[in-house]
Structure formats: C-alpha cells, structure tokens
Structure 1
Amino acid sequence: MTGKISTGKWVRLACQRQLDDLERFRGKNSPYRFNPKLTDKQGRSFQPADNLGAFVERLPHVKGPLAGQPILLEPWQVFILSTVFGWVKSDGKRRFRRAYVEVPRGSGKSALSSAVALYMLAADGEGGAEVYSLATTRDQARKSYYAFRVKCLDDFSTNGFTGTPTPLDQPLANTASGVYQLHVFYGTNGGAPSLGYPSRTIYKPVAGTVVAAKNGVTISSGLSVDTTTGLITITPAPLITDAITAGCQFDIPCRFNSKIEVTAVDISLRDCHSFDLIERLNP
C-alpha cells in the first residue's frame, strides 16, 4: 500500500482487505484464522496455504520455453492462492468459496488454474472430488485438461527405443514448405508388412534432443522445433526431392483413465496407489 507498484482500484482494495483482516482476526476466539496449523484425516498437521504452494511448485511447466522446469509462483500468484486457501473458519473449512481473478493474456492463467484444479482433484482431502472448467469455447475450456507428458522408460527414443538419437534415425514427411512432422517407425529391421510399418507420430519431443539431416548431412543451422506439436521447421526450405531425416527423445501425451485414490503419507507427500493412463493420439 506504499504506492511503489501501480495497480487498479480492486487490487488495492483486495490488498487492503488482507492487511485489515490480518489485524482484525487474531486470537483463538476469532471466527477466521490465516494459514493456521490444521490436522488432516490421518492426524498429520499442515498449513493450508503452504500446502498448496508447495504442491504447485512441485509441478512442471508442460509447454513453451519453460517446458520441463518446475513452476515458480510469482508474488502476485502467492497472494491470490494464500488469500483464497489460507483463510479458514474455526472448523478448518475455507472462508472463501468464490474467487474472481482477472489478469492480462499471457500471464499464466491456464497453468495456474490447472495446478489448482489438480490440487483440488487429488490433494485437497475430498473424496470423489470433481473439477470443472468453463469458457466461451470448448477448446478454451479444455486447455486446463490437455494431456500431460509421460516418459515411457522402454520407448523414448527414435534410435532403438532407448538409444542416443541420431540425425539419420527416421525419415520425415513434408507437411508444408520447410515443415516436417516427427515420427518413429517400428519393426523396420524386418520385412515391411502389407500395410506398412507401425508408427507413432511424435507430438512431444524432448527439448534439446532433436537432431536432423538433409540428404545424410547433419543440419547445423536453420532448424527450429515446436516441442508442443512435434513439428520442425527448416530454413531455407529444402527441395521436395531432398531426403529429410531426424531423431529425438520424446514423451507420450497421456491422460488419466481411472479414478485417483489419494492417501496422505506426509504433509508434503501423497500416495496415489495405482491408476490407469491412456495415450492421447491427437493431443
């Protein structure tokens, strides 16, 4: 409230409310408490705001330049999450049942909402929890439920399942001028079946592992990779008669295909027992 950060009316009021509430709601007889030590159903103590923050920061980014790196909450995100989840009633139930968050495009709304949805689905201690996402279009609403990346430990490379990728591993098909889709073909050490070799379209290559060649010569410049689609772009565009090959490590896009039963083992550890995953063929 010092005026060092320029912001709007409603943000200032939210911050002032937080300061006023911290001053007003004190002592054991207060109707609300902020981030107190609570006890879960297994008798283990935890603090609600800290618990959520620790959960979110153990999740990775799944797309963009930060893909694979753990989420690091910004101060404004910590303020929102700690306010909504940190304030509880005397019985331990949350004070706030609704929250309205409005931030500019590109501020990480989908990543943050996805993390909160996952927490409330699997780590909030509510049996049979359900989470819904609403938006103006179906595609926008489903962003929080896109498939996540899974590394299959016996099939994650274009070179013999687990080998180091090389630029000559797999032939690529041209999808547009200079644009190629990563694939991996199976069983190529034997005769080709009548329907051709089984293959997998690689939608989620691991960043930094893609190598490619043109007519058997490694491409050292002008190669860009979209790690969210598996499309590579070569500049300048090769001729249609050029043979393009590539290799990489890859993850498999999956989604949950069964209910998740979660048991609290420790304040920062949950046991998910066993659950089914299914591969998304068109993520």
Structure 2
Amino acid sequence: MSFHEVRFPANLSFGSVGGPERRTEVVTLANGFEERNTPWEHSRRRYDAGIGMRSLDDVETLISFFEARRGQLTGFRWKDWSDYKSGLPSKPPEYTDQIIAWGDGETVEFPLLKTYRSGEETYARPIQKPVEGTVKLGLKGDPLSEGTHFTVDYTTGRVTFMTAPETGAEVTAGYEFDVPVRFDTDRIHTSVASFQAGDAPNVPVVEVRV
C-alpha cells in the first residue's frame, strides 16, 4: 500500500470532527434475544477534514495536499487532536504512561501499544505511527535513552532494545502518535461564495491498516 510519511497540516485538522467506529453484527433471535459479534479486532477512525477550513488559503493548502496524495491513492499521517498522546491530553508523555510488554530474556523488539480502560474491560490499540522524537521508554521503572538503550522505527511503531529485557521486567512507554489515514473521496468540492459565507468543504478521511 502506498503511504507517505507526511502529516496532514495540523492547523487544518484542528477543529475537525471524527473518532473511532466499530463494526458489530447483530442478529435478533425469535425470542427477542440478540447475538452480537464483530469481524474487527481493532476499531477504525473516520474524520472530516473540511471542518477545519477557515480561509481560502486553507482550501489552497488542502487542494495541494490532496493532489500530492493523488486522492485516495496514497495514505498519510493525521493528528487526531482528541487522542494523540500515550497519557492524559493535558500532560506531556512520560515513559511510565503505558505498559507495552514484559521481558522474557530473549525478545528485543516490541510494538508500541495504548491501552484503553473502563472498569474491568481493556482494549489494546497498536500504535504504528509515533511522532519522531517523542518516544520515551522505561524498564523496571527506570528511564532509558533512545540511541543508547533502544531504537525506534517511526514508520511501524516498533521499538528495539540493544539488550533483551530480562524475564519479568516491565517495559513501559510514552509517546505522541499520528493515525495512518487516506482520503475517503476522489473529489474535492469547493465554492468560493459558499465558503466565504461560512460553508466548509466536506473532506472525509478514513484510517487505513498498515
């Protein structure tokens, strides 16, 4: 799949609407009870980039970005302003934010994860597009240094230790991240008159599996 490691202008994604969606298959039985199942292990996010348009200059920037991606053909990075950090939105990422693995004495490569919790239930989301320079790792509660103790593949969201963490060692991480997306349309409709009157173009964006 064609993908450009470039972020959609963050000032244009600010103010956009969107979020995660799930696919649930619901079958209502003759007795009124339901059977529910999902073919998706992970949620998929959708956004409308048009909401963030505020001027004709913004529209020009959008069109340039759209044309450079060839419409739906090529994926790109998207900053989801409502969910782009490993911890609380009000705080900078810390190496203690997320437990991503437990050492086994052999494995040196681990994927970044973000775990969502509600009561007893959890969901672990793969983080495949961390923002360069923001990843912090910890081992057994102590901070580590990128380049000295570990390296990061910022295109896949995988971290590699120079030495395998010992068995039972807690591996933690903090980071900022983007969402891999593509345009969900091959058309951009704009109107100068309507835009100046306050109507923004509709620009659907959808998350892609990478």
TM range (shorter): 0.5 to 0.7
Q: TM-score, normalised by structure 2?
A: 0.58
Partners of 1:155 and 1:146 in 2: CA distance? 23
SS for the counterpart of 1:186 is: strand
Partners of 1:218 and 1:120 in 2: CA distance? 39
Partners of 2:163 and 2:139 in 1: CA distance? 12
After TM superposition, give the deviation of residue 146 of structure 1 in Å.
4.2
Asked if residue 118 in structure 1 is aligned to residue 105 in structure 2, the reply is: no
Partners of 1:217 and 1:207 in 2: CA distance? 21
Asked if residue 182 in structure 1 is aligned to residue 116 in structure 2, the reply is: no
Structure 2 unaligned residues grouped into runs of 5+: 10-63, 193-198
SS for the counterpart of 1:232 is: strand
Higher relative contact order (CA 8 A, sep 6+): 2
Partners of 1:117 and 1:256 in 2: CA distance? 8
Partners of 1:215 and 1:203 in 2: CA distance? 24
Partners of 2:142 and 2:88 in 1: CA distance? 21
The percentage of counterpart residues that share the same residue type is 29
The structure in which a higher percent of residues are helix is: 1
Asked if residue 234 in structure 1 is aligned to residue 161 in structure 2, the reply is: yes
Asked if residue 172 in structure 1 is aligned to residue 172 in structure 2, the reply is: no
Over 3 Å counting, the alpha-carbon distance change for 1:223 and 1:153 in structure 2 is same
C-alpha distance after superposition, 1:10-32 (max 9, x if no partner): xxxxxxxxxxxxxxxxxxxxxxx
Partners of 1:118 and 1:253 in 2: CA distance? 18
Structure 1 unaligned residues grouped into runs of 5+: 1-60, 71-114, 123-130, 132-144, 266-270
Q: Which runs of 4+ in 1 moved over 4 A?
A: 119-122
C-alpha distance after superposition, 1:131-183 (max 9, x if no partner): 9xxxxxxxxxxxxx442100011100001245311001111136972111001
Partners of 1:162 and 1:182 in 2: CA distance? 21
After TM superposition, give the deviation of residue 198 of structure 1 in Å.
1.8
Asked if residue 258 in structure 1 is aligned to residue 207 in structure 2, the reply is: no
The structure in which a higher percent of residues are strand is: 2
Q: TM-score, normalised by structure 1?
A: 0.44
After TM superposition, give the deviation of residue 118 of structure 1 in Å.
2.7
How well do the aligned residues superpose, as a CA RMSD in angstroms?
3.2
Which residue is equivalent to 1:218? Answer: 143
The total of aligned residue pairs comes to 143
Partners of 2:180 and 2:153 in 1: CA distance? 15
- Indicate the structure (1 or 2) with the bigger Cα radius of gyration: 1
